């Protein structure tokens, strides 16, 4: 059985492909899910893909990932990146290898986007590659957890 990775998306990412395409690209969240599923499959992983506008729901899913013995987490915390000690605490509590993803290069944007709580626990951070960053994060995590293809 393939190992499973939880891919968690924070607030407003349900709007992907419908608003601000110049910043976030034209792919919808459903298309990002397909990209993630295909990339994971070709690297020997299965995925659970979720999005929420609610902090507590994301925390519940981090705990669920641990309960279900997931191999790791890929998270785009969106606006919770710089505010949520509770998401950081959940990630610290479960101890799963976590990759932080941002579609945009947060360091080239406003200074309030720079200081990520999530980076304090993340094994790696991918930002600025557009939605391809999700695929890069999955490939990196697959290598990290020793996922086997085929």
For ligand CA2, the binding residues (CB under 6 A) are 12-13, 15-16, 19-20, 24, 76, 78-79, 81, 102-104, 106, 113
Instruction: Please report how close the Cβ of residue 12 comes to ligand CA2 at its closest, in angstroms.
Output: 4
Of 4 and 104, the one with the shorter C-beta distance to ligand CA2 is: 104
Give the β-pairing of 72-76 and 3-9. parallel
**Are 91 and 120 contacting, i.e. CB atoms less than 8 angstroms apart?**
no
Instruction: Please report how close the Cβ of residue 42 comes to ligand CA2 at its closest, in angstroms.
Output: 23
Instruction: Please report how close the Cβ of residue 149 comes to ligand CA2 at its closest, in angstroms.
Output: 28
Q: CB under 8 Å to 140, separation ≥6 — which residues?
A: 99, 124, 126
Of 122 and 147, the one with the shorter C-beta distance to ligand CA2 is: 122
Q: CB under 8 Å to 63, separation ≥6 — which residues?
A: 90, 93, 94
Of 59 and 147, the one with the shorter C-beta distance to ligand CA2 is: 59
Catalytically active residues, by annotation: 24, 102
DSSP H or E segment with residue 78: none
């Amino acid at each position: 059985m393939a190992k499973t990775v939880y891919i968690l998306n924070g607030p407003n990412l349900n709007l992907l492909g419908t608003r601000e395409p110049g910043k976030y690209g034209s792919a919808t969240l459903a298309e990002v899910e397909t990209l993630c599923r295909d990339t994971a499959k070709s690297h020997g992983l299965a995925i659970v893909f979720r999005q929420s506008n609610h902090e507590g729901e994301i925390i519940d899913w981090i705990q669920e990932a641990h309960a279900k013995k997931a191999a790791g987490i890929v998270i785009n915390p969106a606006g919770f990146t710089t505010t949520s000690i509770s998401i950081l605490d959940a990630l610290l509590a479960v101890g799963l290898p976590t990759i932080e993803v941002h579609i945009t290069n947060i360091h080239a944007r406003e200074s309030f986007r720079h200081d990520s709580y999530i980076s304090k626990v993340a094994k790696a951070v991918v930002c600025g590659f557009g939605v391809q960053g999700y695929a890069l994060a999955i490939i990196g995590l697959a290598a990290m957890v020793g996922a086997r293809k085929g």
